[in-house]
Every structure is written in C-alpha cells, then in structure tokens.
Amino acid sequence: DVKVTQSSRYLVKRTGEKVFLECVQDMDHENMFWYRQDPGLGLRLIYFSYDVKMKEKGDIPEGYSVSREKKERFSLILESASTNQTSMYLCASSSGQGDTGELFFGEGSRLTVL
Amino acid sequence: GQNIDQPTEMTATEGAIVQINCTYQTSGFNGLFWYQQHAGEAPTFLSYNVLDGLEEKGRFSSFLSRSKGYSYLLLKELQMKDSASYLCAVMDSNYQLIWGAGTKLIIKP
C-alpha cells in the first residue's frame, strides 16, 4: 500500500519557536510538495521539489523553508512560528513521469501557534 | 488572475444523485482533477479529465468542457460514506495545480 507519512498529526507551538514538519514517501516519487489548507481557501502551495537537494518556491513561501536531502524525505521548516501560520499542513508526492500528475497526500499535520 | 469556483456546501439524500460543479479561469490548461477529502483525512484522487466529455468510474463520473471552463462531478446512488469535501483542481500551463476551496457534501438518510 503506497504511503505518504507525516511525522506529527497535531502540534502546539509558541510564537517564535522553530518548527519541523517531516514527510516521508515510500513510492520512489521524484516530486514532493508542501501545502497549507485553511477553511474557505483552496490548497496553497508553499514549496515543492522535483529532485533531491532541489527546491522551488510555491505561492506562499514567506516564513517557510524546506529541505530535501534524500529522495523519500521532504521537510518543512518554520524558522520562527507566528500565529498566522496556524493551519493544516499537507505533504504530497507524485511520480511526474508522463502520468496524470496524481498527487498522493499524507494525513496532514495540524499546527497551532499560540 | 487564476480562479476556481465551486459551491461551498451541498446537501443530498442517501440513494439520490448529486452534481458538484466547478468553473475555472486559468492560464492554460493541462487537465482537471477531482479529489475527495473526508474530515480529518488526506485528500484522495478521484478523477482526471484532459479531454472534453464524460469519464465514468463506478458510481462517480466526471465531465469536462474546456471551451466553457466547466467541469462537474456526478455521484450516483449516494451512500453515507460519500459525505466529504470534494476538491476541484486545474493544472495550468506551467503544470502547477490551482485549487478550488472545496465543496462540502452532506448526505442525509
């Protein structure tokens, strides 16, 4: 069974703390993505990566950074968490080799910043 | 700008049929996706349309009209487990996905 696993389902952090969200996929996919999902809004792309050590900014990269040291792992980092980063964070992967581009999502990490 | 519109919420009865519409305005078009997301869970892929017409997959069908910038997801023989949010997404000319806000479907017995 193909799987995208996110390290934490629920986190509560304080303003200014550094936050790491980790994502691992077991499908040997080249492409990995980090989205945030907020009520009333479509998924918004934070960062994505098409290869190891490669990263590209999405639509809302401010306040975030990412790391992809291994093909299967894509980490999202909040250097100094702020209350407006309270959200559901979704990691996804896709193979991106001539297929439909179907995304496989993790269960999500719900972050609350106090 | 790029825009995907879908109704915020719909209610339907178990056993009935429901159609969830999605209209889009994007820079180019490389396909339209429908995903299902149960509350508290990950979105899962339902369908992909890149050519005009109807794609049927069991109780679910998806229709696309590129000239009208319009798609719908048709769910037949509704079951309680179909209560979920349905997300429409369009892949633009840069192969980036533009997402709608989702339609919350409530199924009543």
Reported as a single tens digit per residue, the pLDDT across B43-62 is 999 999 999 999 999 999 99
Using CA atoms, how far apart are residues A114 and B49, in angstroms rounded to an integer?
Answer: 42
Q: Which tokens is B83 given?
A: 């209560």
Q: Is a pLDDT exceeding 80 seen at residue A101?
A: no
Percent over 70 (pLDDT), chain A: 94
Select from B31, B91, B99 the Cβ nearest to the Cβ of A43. B99
Residue A85 has pLDDT above 60, yes or no: yes
Measured distance CA(A69)–CA(A67) in Å, rounded: 6
Residues of chain A found within 8 Å of residue B41, distances taken between Cβ atoms:
107-108
Select from A42, A104, A106 the Cβ nearest to the Cβ of B4: A42
Q: What is the pLDDT of residue A42?
A: 87
Region A18-44 average pLDDT: 94
Determine contact, residues A100/B48, Cβ cutoff 8 Å.
Answer: yes
pLDDT digits (tens, 9 = 90+) for B79-99: 999 999 999 999 998 888 999
> pLDDT at residue A98 above 60?
no
Task: Residue B91: list chain A partners with CB under 8 A.
Answer: 101
Mean pLDDT of B97-106: 96
β-strands A104-105, A87-94 pairing: antiparallel
pLDDT at A99: 57
Between CA B79 and CA A2 the distance in angstroms is 26
% of chain B residues with pLDDT over 90: 91
For residue B17, give both structure tokens.
């049929």
Chain A residues whose CB is inside 8 A of the B100 CB are 42
pLDDT in tens, A34-58: 999 999 898 999 999 999 989 999 9
Flag whether residue A28 sits within 8 Å of chain B, measured between CB atoms.
no
Task: Give chain B's radius of gyration (CA, Å).
Answer: 13
Instruction: For residue A106, give the chain B residue with the closest CA.
Output: B42
Closest partner CB to B100 (pick from A42, A100, A101)? A42
Contact by Cβ (8 Å): B61, B86: no
Q: Which residue of B has its CA nearest to A56?
A: B96
* Average pLDDT of chain B, as a whole number: 95
Could you tell me which of A41, A11, A34, A25 has the C-alpha nearest to residue A89? A34
Q: What percent of chain B has pLDDT over 70?
A: 100
What does the pLDDT read at residue A97? 59
Provide the pLDDT confidence category of residue A66 given band limits of 50, 70 and 90: very high
Question: Across the interface, do B97 and A45 touch by the CB < 8 Å criterion?
Answer: yes
